[in-house]
A and B are shown apart, each in its own frame.
Chain A
Amino acid sequence: MSNSVLVSIPARLAGDVDCENLVVRSRSCDEITSAYKTLGDRVNGVELENLGEDLSSLTALPLGLPVRVKLHPGDAPHLYTNTWLGDRFSLEVLMDVDKGLLQGAKIATSNMVPVTVNLEEVSDTGELMSALDYYLHDTHVQVPVEFFHSMITACLRGETVSLLDLYPESPVEFLHVDESGRVSASARLARAGRFLGTISGGLKIDEESQLYEDLLHRKKTLVLSGSKCISCEGFDLCEGYLRFVDTNFDCDPFLEVFSAIKVTAKEIADDLAKAEELGE
């Protein structure tokens, strides 16, 4: 396993691994700061799983450290109580796909905090399209909402960025350690009970396992399994990400979003071309 792999690990377990690039996560700020004190520069970022408690101990973390707050949309107003986080850290919100997504995205972006839609926590997709609509058409949005932002900007450049690029599950790039110390390639794979190894006696993964093979060669796996994903209109933007864990996942709201992104990118490209023609 390469030293460059980014490992997301509960803060209380972080001292048990000797990896160089760690993202420590916890609901407790004290656990996070304590892990940072022990691990120092090996901590590349932190993920805070709660905004409710007193966050003052985070002041012990270095300025500019990437801090990702995992947030249910209903808790987004807390961002305004803790605006100092954005002044001090490279702050981002990982927002669950649930009721209130539109309001949550509006609150975070109004406070100039970038948002990433958390595709590992999808409960209710009812507001996904309205969140995209807000991102595309509200003139005051000045920070990215991912995955919308990267997909549209890529389309405008004539390139493609897929969900797999934005939510990497490749074990050569990213590993996720769960609360029990078991290693997977993402939180959703861990919840589905699909593991690559453990951290007992140091972080080890089984590079001969079927899961490892599947993760490294997704397209091949999809073709060999006869998956319908291959012929899906949204495959270029999804690459089989949505149904990788649950083959019955309802992709329709996402396909609607992908389609809107492509249409919008085309409209913008046409407008830009026209403007260039007119010499504006």
Chain B
Amino acid sequence: MFGPQVSVIFVPTFNCNCNCAYCFEPRSHESISLEELSTVFSRISSYLAGSGVRQVDVYWQGGEVMVLSPEWCLEAGRSIKSLMSNHNLKVKHFLQTNLMDYEPVWDPVIWELFDGTLGSSLDYPNVHRKFRSLSGHSYNAHWEDRFGLAVSRGLNLNVISVPNLETLSLAPSDFYRYYADELGLKSIQLNTPFAAGPASQLADELFLDPVRLGDFLVGLLDVYFSKDDGVRLDPYEGIVERITMGDAAAKVPCFFCANCVSGFFCVGPAGEVGQCDAWLGSYPDRNFGNLLECDDLGKLLTSPARMKLAARTANLIRNSECLDCQYFSLCSGGCPVRTMSAKGSPDHPDPYCETYKKVFGFIEDHVRTNPKKWQGWASQPVEKSRSLVWGWPEPGAVVFSSFECTNNCIFCAPAYDRSKNPPDLDKEIFDFITKSSRSGIKTLFFTGAGEPTLNPSLVDYVRFAKENGIDNLYMFTNGYGITEELVLALTDAGMKNFWVSLHGLGETHDRIVRRKGSFVEAFRAVSIINDISPERLSVNTCLNALNLDQIEWLMEKILGFANTTAHCLCLPEWDGNAYVNRRQMCRLAPLKRKLAAITSQEYPLTILDNVPYCIAPHLPHIGNCRNEVRIKRRDADDMVSNADNMGHNDTPEACLEARCRHIDDCVGVDRRYLEEYGDEEIQIWLREPPLVDINSL
């Protein structure tokens, strides 16, 4: 029984490249197969969907996930996504890795499944962690090397640190400096050590004196509260939020939640189900059952082992001093598995009870005696409402700023216009901008038959346009060459609106644009521009037969970026590559079915371009608003008002015969598409009721 959101800790393998002294997991090479994974997650999704769950967060843990191959992980992640989607469950993946075997070959997986963010672990000083022949400082040095590489590839990292005896000998300021200043981490979580599973024989060494640990943490918090460096130190920042804002807004880790049993469960490499990876690894006799042997997760979740664990807090209330503690609402008795490892039963208060009391007391005093500092925390952060931002002052004009391109997209309409940039391109463009300014053009679109960032003068063009009074500047990019420095330079010069092309996830995008590694590049570009937060950040997805089944997944990813303002789904003109590859373009009938499942309520940034109106009357369309965009593509072209911007489209006979009332609003259908397939599809759906009841939306 869960709320609308549930977390699944997924341990695909117990195999690990490390041999850490405090590890609570068995040293086994067992891994789950794709077939077993499919069975397990099919049963999980079936049960969760039937019990009203809407969203599933899958936390990939080990063992070590990176001992598996990136290809396997990608396939596994997609399989989980697909199984969950079949049951209308949204899924989000998270990865915890020791990072020691990280290589850029993992990037496509990390971007596609984990949105470019990793969780890792690092202790300071390192006492217990070992990787092959590396231990102590050399372990950390190797981790820092991998970390540096990951950061240079644009990845974000959160780190969990477990204090040890040597940590307690450090000055808290030195400990803080290592993570925040030397490594530059922005998100650090401190967990308390325990000794379970294979590590239980080291109990005396691993368990720290709770009072001494409490003193160290208080010192650390003193340092932390004195800083204003954007670092988040958990779980203590979560406690601050809980004290100042209440439960709803606080994000506290599992060991402080009211009852961890109600929030998540764990599934292991042999299909075994337990409460978390620590329970699974250390106390397999307390597992709830096995999903490869039982097809009903519900039976496992009502097993005596789980029911007993679910009653733990109630038992503490009845049989311990917990309810008398002023901090009971903050810790709910703490972590059951740490308690189990220290006391042989989970039905006691957390072994670090005294540590937490000290820390909670310090945080509470600090928050309540510095009301001004914490004043801003008193109200919940207002979530930015997501709504489509579209349109531009007319008339606009297209600046062909590059004829060269890194990609060769299967749908590229101007593919045959691509060439080396002419030697006098700079002069042409500056002249064009001048002429545009004089003729009252209000908006310029920097695009071309190629990729604008390949033109080293791009920033100069933008600045020149701005200086000539054209204030509404857009640029399109496939992500190539997008760096923080370039985006900042462009925005400084006057660029307000960025438009990144992203046509699928992972390999799908790479197949569509026909260049390996381009997905990672494009996704990173969105991420970089999102962080800089320009006036508008739009994503463009060209609909085709290869990406139609990924559209919703892609839309979720785009919504996941806080500053995206539009997600344009467009049909390509049947010209250039699109015509050559017309079998890989999108048929209208399956597109109509796909778009029927998409609503503006769920995906508020969606807008359609070059899509006939009746395919999706319930979604916003650009329609013919581009009438006022003037295009000078070749020398022979004058910059004329392109009154018939959709000149490549026709109005199908069927629409005319049916006297469709949307003819004036509709872009029509590409005339070459009509030549190829006729208007039979349109005739069929003109006779049928719409797939979506517009009035119900």
Q: Give Cα A187 to B332, complex, Å.
A: 35
Within 8 A of A (CB), among B316-337: 317-318, 323, 326-330, 332
Q: How far is the CB of A157 from chain B (nearest CB, A)?
A: 19
Is A220 engaged at the interface, CB distance under 8 Å to the other chain?
no
Indicate whether A77 sits within 8 Å of B314 (C-beta atoms), given known contacts A82-B1, A140-B326, A142-B247: yes
Q: Which of A102-110, A226-234, A243-251 contacts B (4 or more CB under 8 A)?
A: A102-110
A63 close to B (CB within 8 Å): yes
A107-B323 in contact (CB<8A): yes
Could you tell me the distance between the alpha carbons of A195 and B1 in the complex, rounded to whole angstroms?
40
**Is there a chain B Cβ closer than 8 Å to A83's Cβ?**
yes
Does B590 interact with chain A (Cβ within 8 Å)? no
CB atoms of B4 and A87 under 8 A apart: yes
Q: Is A82's CB under 8 angstroms from B329's CB?
A: no
The segment from A51-59, A117-125, A198-206, A254-262 that touches chain B is A51-59
> How far is the CB of A272 from the nearest CB of chain B, in Å?
14
- Check B259–A63 contact: CB distance below 8 A: no
* CB-defined contacts of B329 to chain A, threshold 8 Å: 109-112, 140, 142
Across-interface contacts of A55 in B (CB, < 8 A)? 1
Contact B330 A80 (CB under 8 A): no
Q: Does B258 contact A (CB under 8 A)?
A: yes
Closest-CB distance, A262 to chain B (whole angstroms):
26
Is B246 in contact with chain A by the CB < 8 A criterion?
yes
Asked, given contacts A81-B259, A81-B310, whether A112 binds B328 with beta carbons under 8 Å apart, the answer is no
Interchain CB contact (< 8 A) of A140 among B302, B318, B323, B330: B330
Type the 1/0 row for A60-104, where 1 means its CB is closer than 8 Å to any CB of B. 100100000000000011101111101110000000000000010
Contact present for B328 and A110 (CB under 8 Å): yes
- Residue A138 at the B interface, CB < 8 A? yes
The residue from B246, B258, B302 contacting A111, defined by CB atoms under 8 A apart: B258
**Contact present for B259 and A88 (CB under 8 Å):** no
Flag if B323 contacts A106 (CB, 8 Å): yes
Residue of A63, A87, A143 most packed against chain B (CB within 10 A):
A87
Q: Does B171 have its Cβ within 8 Å of any Cβ on chain A? A: no
A210 within 8 A of B: no
Interface size band for B: 20 to 34
Q: When the two chains form their complex, are residues B326 and A80 in contact, meaning their CB atoms are under 8 A apart?
A: no
Interface positions of A from 110 to 158, Cβ below 8 Å from B? 110-112, 138-140, 142-143
Q: Which of A77, A84, A103, A112 contacts B1 (CB 8 A)?
A: A84
Residues on B with C-beta less than 8 A from A103 are 323
Interfacial chain A residues near B323, Cβ < 8 Å: 103, 106-107, 110
A106 to B364, CA, bound (A): 19
Q: B262 and A87: CB pair below 8 A?
A: yes
Q: Beyond A59-B1, A112-B246, is A83–B52 a contact (Cβ under 8 Å)?
A: no
The smallest beta-carbon distance between A11 and chain B, in angstroms, is 19
Give Cα A60–Cα B5 distance, bound, in whole angstroms: 15
Q: Once the chains bind, are A80 and B259 in contact (CB under 8 Å)?
A: yes
B258 contacts A80, C-beta separation under 8 Å: yes
Asked if B26 is an interface residue, CB under 8 A from chain A, the answer is no
Chain A contacts for B311, CB-based, 8 A? 81
CA A56 to CA B314, docked complex, whole Å: 18
B52 → chain A, closest Cβ, in Å?
Answer: 5
Cβ A140 vs Cβ B327 within 8 A: yes
Compute the total of residue contacts between A and B using a CB distance below 8 Å.
Answer: 82
Residue of A nearest to B309 (CB): A81
A111 vs B318: C-alpha distance in the bound complex, in angstroms?
A: 15
Q: How far is the CA of A88 from the CA of B5 in the complex (A)?
A: 9
Instruction: Report A-chain residues with C-beta under 8 Å of the C-beta of B248.
Output: 112
Question: Which of B246, B258, B302, B318 has the most C-beta atoms of chain A within 10 angstroms of its own C-beta?
Answer: B258
Say yes or no: B298 contacts A87, CB within 8 Å. Answer: no
Q: Which residues of A contact B315 (CB under 8 A)?
A: 77
- The distance in angstroms between the C-alpha atoms of A83 and B259, with both chains bound, is 7
Whether a CB of chain A sits under 8 angstroms from the CB of B2 is yes
* Contact in complex: B314, A88 (CB < 8 Å): no
Query: Is B51 in contact with A59, judged by CB distance below 8 angstroms?
Result: yes
Among residues 156 to 180 in chain A, which have CB atoms less than 8 Å away from a CB atom of chain B? none
Closest to A74 in B: B318
Interface size on A, residues (CB 8 A): 30
- Report if B313 contacts A (CB, 8 A): yes
- Provide the bound-state CA to CA distance between A200 and B327, in Å: 53
| A78 partner residues in chain B, CB cutoff 8 A | 314
Residues in B neighbouring A139, C-beta threshold 8 A: 326, 364, 368
Shortest Cβ distance from B336 into chain A, in angstroms?
A: 12
Once bound together, how far apart are the Cα atoms of A59 and B317, in whole Å? 26
Cα A139 to Cα B364 in complex, Å, equals 10
CB of B258 within 8 A of CB of A88, answer: no
In contact, A80 and B52 (Cβ under 8 angstroms): no
A56 and B259 in contact (CB under 8 A), knowing A88-B52, A107-B317, A142-B247? Answer: no
- A103: nearest chain-B partner, CB-CB: B323
Q: Give the nearest-CB partner of B2 in chain A.
A: A84
CA of A130 to CA of B660, assembled, Å = 73
Q: Which residues of A contact B253 (CB under 8 A)?
A: none
Q: Is B678 an interface residue (CB 8 A)?
A: no
Cα–Cα, bound, A112→B52 (Å): 22
Kindly list chain A residues whose C-beta atoms are within 8 Å of the C-beta of B54.
63
Report Cα–Cα, A103/B3, bound state, in Å: 26
Q: Which residues of B contact A109 (CB under 8 A)?
A: 329
A142 CA / B250 CA spacing, docked (Å): 12
Q: Which residues of B contact A106 (CB under 8 A)?
A: 323, 328
A135 → B minimal CB distance (Å): 13
The distance from the CB of B366 to the nearest CB of chain A, in whole angstroms, is 13
Could you tell me if B318 and A77 are in contact, using CB atoms closer than 8 angstroms? yes
Cα(A59)–Cα(B259), bound, Å: 18
Task: Give CA–CA (A106, B326) in the complex, Å.
Answer: 10
User: In the complex the two chains form, is B4's CB within 8 Å of A80's CB?
Assistant: no
Are A83 and B246 interface neighbours, CB within 8 A? no
B279 to A: closest C-beta gap in Å: 18
CB within 8 Å of A: which B288-307 residues: 298, 302
- Report B371-391 residues with CB < 8 Å from chain A CB: none
A221–chain B nearest beta-carbon distance, Å = 42
Q: Which residues of B23-74 have CB atoms within 8 Å of chain A's CB atoms? A: 51-52, 54
Query: Which A residues touch B258, using CB under 8 A?
Result: 80, 83, 111-112
Assess whether B4 is in contact with A63, with CB atoms less than 8 Å apart.
yes
Query: 1/0 per position for B550-574, CB-CB distance to A under 8 A?
Result: 0000000000000000000000000
Residues of A within 8 A of B243 (CB): 140
B262:A82 contact, CB within 8 angstroms: yes
Inter-subunit contact A60/B262 (CB<8 Å): no
Expressed in whole angstroms, the Cα–Cα distance for A28 and B368 within the complex equals: 45
- The 8 Å CB contact of B52, one of A63, A77, A110, is A63
Knowing A54-B302, A60-B52, A140-B329, the reply to whether A83 touches B317 (Cβ < 8 A) is no
Q: How far is the CA of A83 from the CA of B263 in the complex (A)?
A: 9
Chain A residues with Cβ below 8 Å from B259 are 80-81, 83
- Report A194-219 CB contacts with B as 1/0, cut-off 8 Å: 00000000000000000000000000
Chain A residues in 8 Å Cβ range of B368: 139
Chain A CB within 10 A, most for which of B3, B54, B327, B328: B3
**B52 lies within 8 A of A56 (CB):** no
Q: Are A83 and B327 in contact (CB under 8 A)?
A: no
- In Å, the complex CA distance between A138 and B318 comes to 21
Per a CB cutoff under 8 Å, which of B51, B313, B327 touches A80?
B313
- Chain B residues near A80 (CB-CB < 8 A): 258-259, 313-314, 317, 332
CA distance A62 to B310 in the complex (A): 23
Task: Across the interface, name the chain B residue whose C-beta is closest to A76.
Answer: B317
B478 to chain A, nearest CB (A): 40
Residue of B nearest to A77 (CB): B314
A59 to B315, CA, bound (A): 25
| Max chain B C-beta neighbours (<10 A), residue from A54, A109, A139, A142 | A142
**Contact sample, A vs B, 15 pairs, CB 8 Å cutoff:** A54-B302, A58-B1, A59-B51, A59-B52, A63-B54, A82-B1, A83-B258, A83-B262, A87-B2, A87-B3, A88-B52, A138-B326, A139-B326, A140-B327, A140-B330
Q: Closest 5 A-B residue pairs measured CB to CB?
A: A87-B3, A77-B314, A110-B329, A80-B313, A142-B246
Given contacts A80-B314, A80-B317, A140-B327, 5 further A-B contacts (CB under 8 A): A76-B317, A77-B315, A81-B313, A111-B258, A142-B329
